[in-house]
Structure 1
Amino acid sequence: MWFSPALALVAGACAVAAGPGYPITADGVKCRAGPSTNHGVVKVYSKGQQVSIGCQAAGLPVFGTALWDRTGDGCYVSDHYVKTGSSGYVAQRCAAPAFCRGLSAAGAALVKQWEGFVASPAPDPVGLPSVGYGHQCQQKDCAEVPYRLPLTPAAADRLLRRDIREYTTCLAAMLNAGVRLNANQWNALASWVYNVGCAQAAGSTLIRRLAAAKEDPNSVAAQELPKWKYAGGKVFQGLVDRRNAEVRLFKTPTSRQGFPTCT
């Protein structure tokens, strides 16, 4: 399924009344233009300074915390540095961005091809239990999966489309509104993040170069994606081939947009 919600970008969302003040817990805390350390710094807070929270959004994790607070100054600070008294939401959610949350047909086909179908939980090539099209089990016997095991291909497809939203959301948080990616570029990146994980992708040169929005994305992808060919410290031919396929999809022209708008 292809998702294209007509919603405002995170960086410009949250025109809401600010809530009560909360203290900043460290000195030099950076308030950024979006919910990610890849976004530019708008201002810096000192320890004990009170900030109001207009809304909160999911973003790039900081010390395990993926929640970001949009302060009364119109910028985002990691909830890790704000003493709200809760690890969850204390304000309304910021309006969601308009990037494509789901996969296009080409993106889904690519992920399925390289993940392969597994009906019942089994170790993947590096020994992690997984099921369906690359769903890594979070509980014993993948008890968190909301479909009967063994999975049918149709149920595995539904599970993939549920899972992928987590990865497209974190991918969007790593970038900024100055980056322009078409649907094929976006789906190729979604496949890569689904494979390597949000934490690994966040610290990558690939994301830093794309987020800077100073280079041709096709050139960046062609140079950086093939580097991600290792598992357990060894080169895997399957990863070499997958990265090559992702580069091909990334460089395939299309008029459809994937980020920051979805068409």
Structure 2
Amino acid sequence: MRPCFLSALVTISLPLAVYAALNGPCTANGLPGACLTTATCSGGGGTSRPGFCPNDPADVQCCTKSCGSGGTCRFTSTCTTGNVASGLCPGPADFKCCLPASGCTAPNVNAATVALIKQFEGFVPSPAPDPIGLPTVGYGHLCQTSGCAEVPFPFPLTTTTATSLLTSDLRTYQNCIASQVADSVRLNDNQYGALVSWAFNVGCANTASSTLISRLNAGQAPNTVAAEELPKWNKAGGVVLPGLVNRRAAEVTLFRTASSVVAHPPSC
């Protein structure tokens, strides 16, 4: 009789690697943070702290960062003051600089700044593509949803409702300039307004990483820095645009217009 061998099928269960969501929240020694790659964290000026994203790969650690004037990078849903600034923190879009509710809010720009922005943005009563194809409405409001559904006014806009929309939009850029420029830098309302106009045009992330801001914070003469750095921001898609050349020149002129009104650091 031929021997019969039975083969037992053995299933071995190996533990599965469980990874926390990249860009998810974490806390390191009481500091709020986000689980980011160490490269992303360091590239945004943050500090990577190992051991607080324990289920992630070694190069994903809890990224923490101080920002602005007494602020901390954290997810906006946990910023109890509601005073947040964009462009200062690495990682996901809702990981922003949470600033104290100390009354030191960024001031509104002056009338000369509003006039400059209106001049170069132009008035668009209903959503339409801008010179580089992005859908905008009013005075340079970039649509966030299809048909600019987030705008709380009916289309076509009037110049009055468009001005209200612009005032609301400018708060983000006022906050980021006030946060990015060190409190040791004294700016009058024209200098501050020129920087807000620039931020409104190029975005807070670009201003945060700019040589212009770093030179101001290093204590260099503001009028010289603005005259040398603002004109460099004259391209869109790598192409020099005459409209941007003219806008930067107008911002330099505004920046260098003397004023006794101090806008930065904000008064508390």
TM over 0.5: yes
1:51-76 Cα deviation digits (max 9, x unpaired): xx997852323213443468xxxxxx
- Superposition pairs of residues 59-138 of structure 1, within 5 angstroms: 59=85, 60-64=88-92, 65-68=94-97, 94-100=101-107, 102-138=108-144
Residues 127 and 221 (structure 1 numbering): CA distance in 2 closer, same or farther, change over 3 Å?
same
Instruction: Name which structure has the greater RCO, CA cutoff 8 Å, separation 6+.
Output: 1
Q: Equivalent residue of 1:261, what SS?
A: coil
Q: Give the aligned partner of residue 236 of structure 1.
A: 241
Deviation at 1:103, TM superposition (A): 2.1
Distance 1:137 1:117 in 2: 14
Q: Equivalent residue of 1:127, what SS?
A: coil
Mapped pair 1:157 → 2:163: yes
Distance 1:22 1:188 in 2: 35
Runs (4+) of structure 1 exceeding 6 A deviation are 53-56
Distance 1:160 1:185 in 2: 19
TM-score norm. by structure 2 comes to: 0.69
The AA in structure 2 aligned to 1:97 is C
Distance 1:113 1:66 in 2: 33
Deviation at 1:142, TM superposition (A): 0.4
Residues 58 and 68, structure 1, Cα contact 8 Å, conserved in 2: yes
Q: Equivalent residue of 1:242, what SS?
A: helix
Residues 226 and 240, structure 1, Cα contact 8 Å, conserved in 2: yes
Q: Give the aligned partner of residue 44 of structure 2.
A: none
1:180-210 Cα deviation digits (max 9, x unpaired): 1000000000100000011111111111111
Distance 1:173 1:218 in 2: 20
Deviation at 1:217, TM superposition (A): 0.3
The unaligned stretches of length 5 or more in structure 2 are 1-28, 36-47, 51-62, 71-78
Identity %: 47
Distance 1:233 1:31 in 2: 32
Larger C-alpha radius of gyration, 1 or 2? 2
Residues 150 and 262 (structure 1 numbering): CA distance in 2 closer, same or farther, change over 3 Å?
farther
Residues 57 and 67, structure 1, Cα contact 8 Å, conserved in 2: no
Q: Give the aligned partner of residue 49 of structure 2.
A: 27
1:98-117 Cα deviation digits (max 9, x unpaired): 431x2211010000000000
What's the Cα RMSD here? 2.7
More displaced, 240-249 or 174-183? Answer: 174-183
Q: Give the aligned partner of residue 224 of structure 1.
A: 229
Residues 144 and 104 (structure 1 numbering): CA distance in 2 closer, same or farther, change over 3 Å?
same
Residues 62 and 125 (structure 1 numbering): CA distance in 2 closer, same or farther, change over 3 Å?
same
Deviation at 1:219, TM superposition (A): 0.2
Residues 135 and 160, structure 1, Cα contact 8 Å, conserved in 2: yes
Deviation at 1:174, TM superposition (A): 1.1
Residues 131 and 69 (structure 1 numbering): CA distance in 2 closer, same or farther, change over 3 Å?
closer
Residues 55 and 159 (structure 1 numbering): CA distance in 2 closer, same or farther, change over 3 Å?
closer
> How many residue pairs were aligned?
204
Deviation at 1:226, TM superposition (A): 0.2
The unaligned stretches of length 5 or more in structure 1 are 1-19, 41-52, 71-92
The AA in structure 1 aligned to 2:235 is Y
Distance 1:146 1:139 in 2: 12
1:218-256 Cα deviation digits (max 9, x unpaired): 000000000000011100001000000000000000001
